Structure 1
Amino acid sequence: MDLHGLVEQVVSGLGFELVDFETSPRTRLMRVFIDIERGITVDDCAAVSNQLTRVFEVENVDYDRLEVSSPGLDRPLKKAADFERFAGEMIQLRTHLPMNEGNQRNFSGVLKGFVDGKVVLSQSDGDIEIPLEEVEKARLVPQF
């Protein structure tokens, strides 16, 4: 069974975006991170949790604990659409392997967007393009 696909179908069916989905086999924990343009409320999390619980019961999904929450202010960026949507925001990014002459893996700067399969990041010393498949993880940096 494609558990990620099932969760994504339920979440999107309720009008939310599935930001991330994590499972922990040892503790049989499922974490679901949802978002919507207006922001997430406790009632939104409860609604998604209740619907997922019903679907898991019908589909015989075995788990001990389900957590549904917003992605937070330091939201992870995973899909190409995320890098397009949050253009102009400050981000931190880590690559799978070192890049450029400095063997650098950690980058931060203003996200300029997503062009031709590459994340474009503006840094103080110029722009850098990082292929999406090289991105290990990326997050928004909250500005206060």
Structure 2
Amino acid sequence: MAFQEIVEQTVTGLGYELVDIERSAGGLLRITIDLPWSPGQELFVNVEDCEKVTRQLQFALEVEGTEYQRLEVSSPGLDRPLKSEKDFERFVGSQIDVTLKAPLGAAANGGVHANRKKFRGTLEKEGDVWQIVWSEAPAAKPGAKVSKNRASAPVQALGFRLDELKEARLAPVVDFKGRKPKTVGES
């Protein structure tokens, strides 16, 4: 049985989803797992989940005679990679970072630098087309008053197909204070 199949069968057999497999120099074997997702449900991998998968993988890999020095099983983390259509469906409305395989070139109509391949914005889906929406406006500094007369930067959108992406990840958004910004109409 192939190495990838062993890992995938073991992880899915325990009720988890295989996100990524990485083998690196020095014999490190890094496995990233997540809990299966369904709309309206958000569960997270914890340390006990990683321990359970680690124990089972150590046994399965030993039986198959797979060579490795160190096994590391972890959750996808804040900057989780988005690889499948299901991942994109799950994170619609989230901030993401995308890297295109090829620069935009003339397709940007002068709105974006022709050699640009990396974008950060909100993931949206319009029909069957994925798009990332962003604004080039600089973020206001905390405590600074922003003039109501200041013209807002235009919102830009880039439509893409998944096969045009080199890489896509969630943009890590960390809120240390635990407070959310007030929305319009909220006091």
Query: Taking structure 2 as the reference length, what is the TM-score of the superposition?
Result: 0.70
Alignment of 1:1-144 (within 5 A): 1-24=1-24, 26-36=25-35, 37-101=42-106, 102-113=114-125, 116=128, 119-124=130-135, 125-143=155-173, 144=175
Structure 1 unaligned regions, length at least 5: none
- Residues 67 and 107 of structure 1: CA distance in aligned 2, closer, same or farther (over 3 Å): same
Cα RMSD after superposing both structures: 1.8
- Residues 103 and 115 of structure 1: CA distance in aligned 2, closer, same or farther (over 3 Å): farther
Task: Please report how far the alpha carbon of residue 114 of structure 1 lies from its aligned counterpart in structure 2 after TM superposition.
Answer: 8.1
Deviates more, 1:123-132 or 1:6-15: 123-132
1: distance between equivalents of 2:67 and 2:126? 38
SS of 1:30's equivalent in the other structure is strand
Larger Rg: 2
Structure 2 unaligned regions, length at least 5: 36-41, 107-113, 136-154, 176-187
1: distance between equivalents of 2:86 and 2:121? 18
Question: Percentage identity across aligned positions?
Answer: 44
SS of 2:79's equivalent in the other structure is coil
More strand by share: 1
